[in-house]
Structure 1
Amino acid sequence: MSVDMKAKAEAAKAEGNTHFTSKNYDDAIECYSTSIKFDNSNHLYFSNRAACYAAKGDWSASKSDATECIKLSPNFLKGYYRLVQANLELSLFDEATNAAKSGLQLDPDNSELQKQMRLIKAKKAAKASADRNQSLGRPVRDGDAKEILELQDQMQATRREMNEVQQYLEGCKREQKMAELTKSEMSSFPVDADMYRSVGKMFMKATRDEIETYHTTQSTIHSKKEKQFNDKLEYLKKRANSQMINYKELMGGGR
């Protein structure tokens, strides 16, 4: 391919990008098509045109271009994202799943593809719920997929928060136990024994009364914190239970 043809392809792409930014999708499609005419080996031209078709809601055309994009550049993650999006809109859930998994093999931590995987599961669940309700003569609700996805995210966030609170609670219990153990051990020391209290990485000499007062205060503080974390954990358990009930209802189990 001549340098002149590649230059013309890039010039058309630049013009297409301008049209895309201005949301002139038809003009952008025409420009990207010109780029492909001059150079059909560049995956970016197909990716950009797929984005235009997606913006117009032409998901079949978007899927076709995204598929070609991936063929030309199997490591281009955005191509997988566009293919998943198109398959999702076409309700081709298995194909969407396969595309997302292929992308995640390249980048397991890709947040966009991970979110798409959750969205696939939510839409599949919503469709199954709608089909079930329809077969039972129940009303089919719009927006179930979005609600399911939001609930899944909320449930995940609640689980994370519960784990954090549980860790803080265990820390309080350890500190409380150490304070009580220290006070108990002190009772076995001679009355005139030299004693020291840790202050950061240092140890400072202190009287028995000062150390006992310190650990009594610490024990009281940790006891209050422990109660606060226990209360928070109970609240989160109730929230998690409520979210699960709502999730089951959306899935058709409660209606």
Structure 2
Amino acid sequence: MNKPGGKLKNDGRGVSPVVATIMLFSVAIIAAATVGVVAFGFQDGLREPQDPRAFSDVETTLGSEHRSWGGWDDREGDNAPRGDIDVVRLTYQSGPVFNGDDIGAVVVRWRGASGGGQVRFLNPARFGKDTAQIDHPDESIGEFCTGDLRAGETLTIRMVHNRYQLGGDTDQEGDDPYRYVGSGQNDIAKNGDSDEPFFRVNNRYPVRSSGDRPIEPGDTVEVLFFGPEDEQPISRVQTTARVFTGDPAERDKGSC
């Protein structure tokens, strides 16, 4: 105890715990603030969760249709085992409206024991009517249109390959694999026979194809819908490819 009028003495034993406690609180506050900044910075980069979208009655049918162009099966001497248009059909069962202009791309991927590949339908609104075709660079794609897909409506994706063709600009050559090619019959349409456009161009659709080969029977086929930034798929669906077992129908695509 200090005497009256005497000098105060420093009591280190009483001060040290207080200082230590203050320092611990300070470190904890700084650490929490740092974690908060990192967390909020990370959160800002995330997208809002998408509303669930469900599909049903998904099927991939190989060769159910063929082009009206006479050379589509000349490599086989008019004896092609099936048509040269592979078709993916699916029904949009439930979810918000798919606005065509809000979809950056529709991608069809496949894989099997002997390889795989993919076809990308870029939204035609992302290029333009004067854009050059990929396989026919001297020609433009012409007018284009997109549509909206609502619950209960069907979607049909058509992809043309060069497995049987001869006499065209996109014939298979040398050791190149057979592939899906730019064609006027490449198309994404709505509602079956009414043939309404979802992604459509009036001339040849410049699809981007890559991989070892076109789809084969038994392949696992996946359809992905990407948003405008092509970052994460906003919906995907999967099925198994099968061969069409009848006479293929001649395809005559509608216009925009």
How high is the TM-score relative to the length of structure 1? 0.20
Specify which structure has the bigger relative contact order, considering alpha-carbon pairs within 8 angstroms and separated by 6 or more residues: 2
Greater per-residue strand proportion: 2
Greater per-residue helix proportion: 1
How high is the TM-score relative to the length of structure 2? 0.20
